[in-house]
Chains A and B, each alone.
Chain A
């Protein structure tokens, strides 16, 4: 059941998008997010959706897999739509007691839903096509200028990569512990909220114990290899731009320009 969550997961595949430099993908995602909020008409959204569609096709990640990742955020999406629909004042289309649906509300709700869907799909495409290690590497390089104002960029990046690395491990561990307790008759799915919260104790205690043990082991292993932070540390595989990365940069900036043009012209 826990394995179903696909947001932030890496999907291993050989594709142009997978091979792009992580810095390009980070910048592109940022530009893409800006562009979603730049466009404000139907043709604009169609343009963004088309761009996203091409990227998904290029990445060779199955559409089914991406849609599955959208499922957990569906509730947030529905709440957003409902609030926008019911609470935006304007020309009233339908009314029942205190609930009113206005034309403006409907439009705002639809826009919001569209934007959120594009946003989540786009950013999950980045995590689906980039390994966590590459991602933090890229982030570390992009944020490097901040070291001049004493921001510990390397340490932050290291913490992030460790945290990301541990997500699948802890998920798997949670799965095993749940099963081990279910084998002893534990019930995680029924009962009222207090009963359920209490039922989590047999799950959380072993999970915490193991997380601390793993953290301890990791710290020991890092010290045994003389890890001492980022100063003067070199990379085994330094990030290097290739031809396709420059092309990607050109494409993404052209895309933003296109979005701006669509907003001004239409």
Chain B
């Protein structure tokens, strides 16, 4: 999937026009795990809605499998099955009487037969770790974390090749957050699904994403592996972003004369580094 010089301007002819995307060029390969990061209002949600044809770019070209998604005869409904987008709030999509029926909505729209639809819904709910006994309870009575699982399952049931999640951890407690991130990382490793994880928190993406795209005021500021991106501490902080908390701890340790790697981004790596340091000092 590629984007070439994509621009998006909201309310173009008025005095409150917003240049939401400025000349975005992007190439997304199969099997990538991308973290899309940026401060609130930087255009990340706008960008991901371009990827499955929900917003038409004011200017520029978007291709999927080498085909222009606004070209003649291109089926955008089919595209939305291949590029699955999970919105931030599950409340915006849950509407059926029970969870199972709600998950069936996506595959039914793809025109599959009943049997295939139900099979996919069942698989999807299993994949997100949703308990069997709650299949027929109302989606409105679930907890925040469970609702989000159902919302993700609703998109997974369409068997997308690219899965985009817009702030999937917003409003969840630490446990629920961890669970959802683990789930996403499992989908990536087991099904080789391309993942784009949108977030404003570095802690969310640092441990999982292999490529980080940082957006600021509608343009791409950085596009690199996490360790490289995190070298630009000052610039990131000026954009209203922070490094993962662990990285700050490692940086403080280094500044105080301890010989540790200050570009570590996950808690596990940091624990290992500190334990190693402790051992080497006491042996």
Stretch among A50-58, A90-98, A107-115, A181-189 lining the B interface: A181-189
- If the complex has contacts A64-B13, A65-B13, A179-B87, are A185 and B77 also in contact, measured as CB distance less than 8 A? yes
Asked if B49 contacts A179 (CB within 8 A), the reply is yes
Please name all residues of chain A whose beta carbon is closer than 8 Å to the beta carbon of B108 when the two chains form the complex.
Answer: 185
Asked if B84 contacts A183 (CB within 8 A), the reply is yes
- If the complex has contacts A185-B158, A186-B109, are A180 and B15 also in contact, measured as CB distance less than 8 A? no
Asked if B91 contacts A206 (CB within 8 A), the reply is yes
CA distance A258 to B229 in the complex (A): 70
CA distance A7 to B93 in the complex (A): 28
Q: Does A78 contact B (CB under 8 A)?
A: no
Q: Does A13 contact B (CB under 8 A)?
A: yes
Asked if A184 contacts B94 (CB within 8 A), the reply is no
Closest chain B CB from A230 CB (angstroms):
34
Asked if A184 contacts B154 (CB within 8 A), the reply is yes
Size of the B side of the interface (Cβ < 8 Å), in residues, is: 29
CA distance A65 to B155 in the complex (A): 38
- If the complex has contacts A12-B16, A179-B87, A184-B158, are A205 and B95 also in contact, measured as CB distance less than 8 A? yes
CA distance A182 to B83 in the complex (A): 12
Within 8 A of A (CB), among B4-34: 11, 13-16
Q: Does A30 contact B (CB under 8 A)?
A: no
Of B15, B87, B95, B109, the contact of A187 (CB 8 Å cutoff): B109
Of A13, A64, A184, A205, the contact of B106 (CB 8 Å cutoff): A184
- If the complex has contacts A62-B13, A179-B49, A179-B54, are A185 and B94 also in contact, measured as CB distance less than 8 A? no
Closest chain B CB from A56 CB (angstroms):
15
Asked if A62 contacts B14 (CB within 8 A), the reply is yes
Please name all residues of chain B whose beta carbon is closer than 8 Å to the beta carbon of A64 when the two chains form the complex.
Answer: 13
CA distance A65 to B92 in the complex (A): 31
Asked if A184 contacts B109 (CB within 8 A), the reply is yes
Q: Does A236 contact B (CB under 8 A)?
A: no
Q: Does A89 contact B (CB under 8 A)?
A: no
Of A62, A177, A185, A205, the contact of B109 (CB 8 Å cutoff): A185
Within 8 A of B (CB), among A166-202: 173, 176-177, 179-187, 201-202
CA distance A64 to B95 in the complex (A): 39
Q: Does A210 contact B (CB under 8 A)?
A: yes
Closest chain B CB from A174 CB (angstroms):
10
Please name all residues of chain A whose beta carbon is closer than 8 Å to the beta carbon of B221 when the two chains form the complex.
Answer: none
CA distance A12 to B16 in the complex (A): 8
Asked if A180 contacts B92 (CB within 8 A), the reply is yes
Within 8 A of A (CB), among B135-178: 140, 154-155, 158
Closest chain A CB from B233 CB (angstroms):
34
- If the complex has contacts A3-B11, A62-B14, A65-B14, are A183 and B87 also in contact, measured as CB distance less than 8 A? yes
Q: Does B110 contact A (CB under 8 A)?
A: yes
Please name all residues of chain A whose beta carbon is closer than 8 Å to the beta carbon of B52 when the two chains form the complex.
Answer: 183
Query: Nearest CB to that of A184 among chain B residues?
Result: B106
Please name all residues of chain B whose beta carbon is closer than 8 Å to the beta carbon of A3 when the two chains form the complex.
Answer: 11
Asked if A176 contacts B92 (CB within 8 A), the reply is yes
Please name all residues of chain B whose beta carbon is closer than 8 Å to the beta carbon of A13 when the two chains form the complex.
Answer: 15
Please name the 5 residue pairs, one residue from A and one from B, whose CB atoms are nearest each other, closest first. A185-B109, A205-B95, A184-B106, A180-B93, A183-B85
